[in-house]
Structures are given as structure tokens and as C-alpha cells.
Amino acid sequence: MGNLELGYKSLPECVMEYLKKQLSTKELTPGDEINLTAISTTLGISRTPIREALIQLVKEGLVELVSRRKFIIKKLSMDDIRNLYDVVGLLEAEAAQSACEGMKEVDIAQLEEYYRKMLEALDHGDTSTYLDLNGASHSLIVSYCGNPVLLDLLHNLKERLNVIIFDFRRVIESLPEWENMLIADHAVMIQAVKAKDREAMRRIIQDGHWNFARNSQYLYKYLSLSRQSAHPPVE
């Protein structure tokens, strides 16, 4: 099966992993038709588990069934992005407030270390390390909510934005002022945790970090850059 390791994963799960990797690396982009025959050949499996995987990805909002046999990568309008920002902000704020009451000193220290290393990684242009630390920081904060259903939903909604829309390396390279604004939010989150201030945490996440109006100017710039890259002007 290509380079995928099956382990305990089902065939549809392996196909989903394969397609999400192609999305994250932008080998597949919004509007692209998914070639079931090519996937079948690449992975050495029948079309049945591929269709099962695609049906699941339709449910997750990553893929769209446009006819009985045609699947495409879902396109997101700006209204779609606005709605996702609103819901992600609401859910992450709800999850994160629990950290203000229950986060242990050792985890607060870890959060501060993540932040320090994130700044260091940005200064050195180490995008991969920065993104890993950023994700770990968010995950640590919301892990205290104790609601796996909320966390799964939050993960799926963020994934819809991340794999369809964002190439975070391009964000950091092309719009550093956007990333500088967002990383500053992490310092505020840390202070909210240390002060055990649930309302401050809610404000910085829902009204700040995931506020669509606050982020919209950068979103428009980023999407414009993405379109130019996908369709460079004819000289």
C-alpha cells in the first residue's frame, strides 16, 4: 500500500490519511476532482474502501459529492470561513476556560516553555518547529476541558480550515505580521491561565484569536496570494 503503514488502521482510515496528507501538502486543492482509479493504483487497493473513505470525508466537510460518482475537494467561500471561525472560537473558548481552573503548575511551565520556543523558532525561520509548538500549546490548553466530544468536534473543524485553506508556511513567510499578532495572543492566554481568569481566556480566544473581523484583512491577503500562486499571470 504505497508508503502507508497499515498497523491497526482500516483501509478506509488509511485512504483518509493519504488524502489528508495530499491536502495538507497542497497536492490536492479546492475544486480538484479526486481520481479513484489513480488512488486505487497508488495504494494497491480496490475502489470500495476508497469510496467509504470519501463518504466519511464528505461528512467531515473536506470533500463534496457533486454527482453519483464524482468527488471533489470542497471549496470554502469567505462566508464558510467566517462561520468556521465563529464556531471554532466558541468551542475553543469553552474548552480553554477549564484550564484557568485546573491547569497544574507543571503544565503552566510547559506552556511558557512552548511560547519561548515558538518565538525562538520564528526568529530562526524554523517553521516546522514553530507549527508543532503552536499546535501543542493549543492542545495543552484545551485538554483540561475533559469533554472528548467537544475536542473531537473542535479538531475536525480546525482540520477543515487547515487542510483546505491554509498553508501555514506561506502564512508565516508572506504575512509575518499576521503570525506576530496571533503569537502575541499566546502570551495573553498564559496570563489568563496564571490569573485563573476564565473571562480573559474567553475574550482572547473568541473575541481575539478566532475573531473573523480581526483576522479578515489577513485572510483576504492570504487568499489573494494563494490564487496568484495557483494561477500566475501570463507574461
Residue 227's pLDDT is 65
Give the span between the Cα atoms of 154 and 52, in whole angstroms: 23
Of the CA atoms within 13 Å of residue 221, those in its CB half-sphere come to: 13
Q: Is residue 235 part of a domain?
A: no
Q: Are residues 61 and 92 in the same domain?
A: no
Are residue 217 and residue 105 in the same domain, yes or no? yes
| One domain for residues 111 and 143 | yes
Residue 6 is assigned to a structural domain of this protein: no
Q: In whole angstroms, give the CA distance from residue 93 to residue 170.
A: 26
Both 25 and 109 in a single domain? no
What is the domain-level CATH number for residue 99?
A: 1.20.120.530
Q: What is the pLDDT of residue 4?
A: 47
Return per-residue pLDDT of the chain as tens, 235 residues. Answer: 444 444 567 899 999 999 988 887 788 888 899 999 999 999 999 999 999 999 999 988 889 999 878 999 988 889 999 999 999 999 999 999 999 999 999 999 999 999 999 999 999 989 889 989 999 999 999 999 999 999 999 998 998 888 777 777 777 788 889 989 999 999 999 999 999 999 999 999 999 999 999 999 999 988 887 666 553 332 2
Q: Are residues 64 and 132 both part of a single domain?
A: no
Kindly report the CA angle at 220 between 130 and 156, in degrees rounded to 5? 55
Q: Are 212 and 82 in contact (CB under 8 A)?
A: yes
Last residue of some domain: 73, 95, 114? Answer: 73
Amino acid (1-letter code) at residue 150: L
Give the number of other CB atoms < 10 A from CB of residue 224. 10
pLDDT of residue 24: 78
- Whether the model clears a pTM of 0.85, i.e. scores above it, the answer is no
Contact assessment for residue 93 and residue 84, using Cβ atoms and an 8 Å cutoff: no
Q: Quick check: is 128 in a domain?
A: yes
What pLDDT does 113 receive? 98
Distance CA(106)–CA(108), nearest Å, equals 5
Q: Are residues 195 and 224 in the same domain?
A: yes
Does residue 188 share a domain with residue 106?
yes
Domains in the chain, number: 2
Q: How far is CA 47 from CA 23, 42, 51, in A?
A: 20, 11, 6
Beta-bridge mates of residue 71: 65
Q: Containing domain of residue 119, as a range?
A: 78-230
Residue 176 lies in a domain: yes
Q: Look up the CATH number of the domain holding residue 21.
A: 1.10.10.10
CA-only gyration radius of the chain, Å: 19
Other Cβ atoms less than 10 A from the Cβ of 126: the count is 15
